[in-house]
Structure 1
Amino acid sequence: MQAKDSVDVVVRRRLRELRMQRGLTLEDVAQEAGIDVSTLSRLESGKRRLALDHLPRLAAALSVSTDELVREPAAEDPRVQGTSHTRDGVTYWPLTRQGPGGGLHTFKIRVSPRRRTAPTGLPVHEGQEWIYVLSGRLRLVLGERDFTIQPGEAVEFSTWTPHWFGVVDGPVEAIMMFGPHGERLHLHR
């Protein structure tokens, strides 16, 4: 009985983990597996026992083999591997993994001392941004307002507001968080 309980626990954990990694909702997986959303929700939460006939359907819905669904994943290297990107005078080092499910992404940034003048048209996009200044003085333009952000200060703002950031008088290092829309604007335009 103990072995079955541990398989149940592993499968429950893997169901949710794989679903989240793929950016799928309970509805997406339930529909693909041909089971009720409430059943899948109860399976993930442990409120319902897993039946053997669920395994192949759930594995197929998540695009994995049944073996992958019932075994513990190999221990993942916790280090974030990523290369830096430089765009418009800002270098971005990833501090979080870029999973397919979207969500917030965190970067350490370095703003070049040459990035001093805001463009004529300030960008606007969906989402929120958060910046924490580590060193230097950051210039942040939000609509008609102009701010100087000192080391140790953080800002959070809606990116529906026209915005731009640069330097006041020298390089700036900061931690920046933004969602997928901000990532596309800053890194992939």
Structure 2
Amino acid sequence: MSDEQQLDVYPSMTVAKEQGADKDEKIEPLKLGKRLKEIRMAHGLTLEEASKRTGLARSTLSKIENEQISPTFQAMQKLAGGLEIDIPQLFAPPKQIKATGRRDITRQDEGKPHPTTTYEHELLATQLTKKKMMPFKSRVRARQFEDYSDWIRHDGEEFLLVLSGEITFFSEFYEPVQLKEGDSVYYDATMGHMLVSISKEDAHILWVTAS
């Protein structure tokens, strides 16, 4: 396994998989009026604007949202058409978002060093486990394509931002491209890729890898 590939299995960089919903979690009975209001608000629509889109009177929409009346099937068809949703979406309870309160601060130059033959990585947010993203900064030591024994490939997608200097970004299915400070690239990390510094000083980059 190459030095670069070892980074992908680094313990602090493990990517968490989506956790399933708690089987014992109780779900509130759906209130259609509340659900309709949530959908309307998500679209950024006032009652008047929703009325024009659906063809239902503003007063009718207001009564439905306040659970004063139940919509007929014809009214639900108009709601779905005007709000550009499928009728089942009117009955689907909104996803519950639970804050975990996770946070990790990495001060400048206080990340965990992880040097390789072609990069000098600084791992960020190393106190958090089961991260869904893997952020790290790197100094690019490689100066030519031949410095690599093979393409680098790993699972997930990757975002790269050049912090300083200039690089050539090589990828398996595209022509090499030069990127300078402030330039970025987002790519499929299963595609072979590598980069080299072409500026006088070694380039510094920010990498974020996600599954």
TM-score range, shorter chain: 0.5 to 0.7
* Amino acid paired to 1:167: S
Distance 1:124 1:23 in 2: 20
Superposed, 1:1-189 pairs within 5 Å as 25-27=19-21, 30-31=22-23, 35-36=24-25, 38=27, 78-79=105-106, 82-97=111-126, 99-112=128-141, 114-118=142-146, 119=148, 121-143=150-172, 144-170=174-200, 171-179=202-210
Structure 1 stretches lacking a partner, 5+ long: 1-21, 47-72, 181-189
Larger radius of gyration: 2
Report the identity percentage: 16
Q: Over residues 12-40 of structure 1, what are the superposed CA-to-partner deviations in whole Å (9 max), with x where a residue is unaligned?
A: xxxxxxxxxx867243xx35xxx24748x
CA contact (8 A) 1:92 1:109 kept: yes
Alignment TM-score, normalising by the size of structure 2:
0.47
The answer on whether the counterparts of 2:158 and 2:207 sit within 8 Å (CA) in structure 1 is yes
Q: CA deviation at 1:92?
A: 1.4
Aligned-partner Cα distance in 2 for 1:109–1:152: 15
CA–CA distance in structure 2, aligned partners of residues 126 and 84 of structure 1: 22
For 2:133 and 2:165, the matched residues in 1 are separated by 25
TM-score of the superposed pair, with normalisation by structure 1: 0.52
Distance in 2, matches of 1:169 and 1:117, equals 15
Specify the code of the residue in structure 1 equivalent to 2:144. R
Name the one with the larger helix percent: 1
CA contact (8 A) 1:108 1:174 kept: yes
Q: 5+ residue gaps in structure 2? A: 1-15, 29-92
SS in 2 for 1:160: coil
Structure 1 residues 157 and 98: CA distance shift in structure 2, 3 A: farther
- Once the two structures are superposed, what CA deviation does each residue of 1:99-127 show, in whole Å capped at 9, x if it has no partner? 33231121121112x44224353122221
